[in-house]
Amino acid sequence: MFGDFPISDDYKLWREDKQFLDDFNRMSPGNPYSQDRKWTLREYVRLSNALPGELAECGCYVGTSAFFIAQASTHGKLYLFDSFQGLSDPDPADTSVAADVMPWSAGDLSTTEATLRHNLSCYDSIEVLPGWIPERFNEIAELRFRLVHIDVDLYQPTRDSLEFFYPHLVEGGFIVMDDYGFKNCPGATRAADELAAAQGTRVLLLPTGQGVITKR
């Protein structure tokens, strides 16, 4: 209560979007914890629709974020990069100083390419490029991007993704990082801050835990 006036997260309009909630629950059954991040990502895709260029995602897991990217996009192809072997080996930059954080291990968050393709079978503007980041980035080196979603949790693949995609962003384009503001992903935070400092820009930290870089 604020005085006699009730304040509640339940009053947020996005929580009344039945189609979004139905899609989210179908893609992530029993896991409501990233609804706000998926909604925010979808809104950035909608903003990017005013720009030329393609879209990409680094670290797509079972395809929930990719589903909402493809759903919101009005043009261009969505390129998806994932090892389908889980995380690579963490390095020292990925060790959190927080006592309550479980450390990452190689192979965490593994899934199959077949699962991803099944979940995204309703979209035909998607290209899946399996392999460790950045092995297959050279295949899209001639393209320009309006939005890139990075969700790889660890320092080195985050850095590799940022170093490749930032120069390939169109002016006004966005890099949305899923794990920038989480204490269990210190390597991802460090990689983004290093890239921003080198480029003379900054990362916008959102209350969802996401971080956003806008190309100026």
Q: What confidence tens digit (pLDDT) does each residue in 67-97 have?
A: 999 999 999 999 999 999 989 999 999 888 7
pLDDT exceeds 60 at position 203? yes
* Residues 64, 67: Cα–Cα separation, whole Å: 5
Helix (H) or strand (E) holding 78: strand 78-82
Percent of the chain with pLDDT over 90: 81
User: How much is the pLDDT for 108?
Assistant: 86
Integer-rounded Cα radius of gyration of the chain: 17
pLDDT exceeds 70 at position 3? no
User: How much is the pLDDT for 6?
Assistant: 63
Tokens of 94: 């990925």
* Residues 20, 120: Cα–Cα separation, whole Å: 16
Domains and CATH numbers, the chain: 35-214 (3.40.50.150)
Tokens of 213: 């870089």
pLDDT band at 195 (very low <50, low <70, confident <90, very high): very high
Q: Which residue has the higher pLDDT, 198 or 95?
A: 198
Mean of all residue pLDDT scores within the chain: 94
User: How much is the pLDDT for 31?
Assistant: 82
Percent of the chain with pLDDT over 70: 96
Q: Which residue has the tokens 């604020």?
A: 2
Pair type for strands 211-214 and 169-177: antiparallel
Q: Are 40 and 210 in contact (CB under 8 A)?
A: yes
Task: State the average pLDDT over residues 176-191.
Answer: 97
Q: Measured between alpha carbons, how far is residue 172 from residues 49, 147, 168, 169, 209 in Å?
A: 11, 9, 12, 8, 22
Q: Measured between alpha carbons, how far is residue 180 from residues 33, 151, 156, 163, 189 in Å?
A: 16, 9, 14, 16, 5
User: How much is the pLDDT for 169?
Assistant: 99
* Residues 2, 145: Cα–Cα separation, whole Å: 44
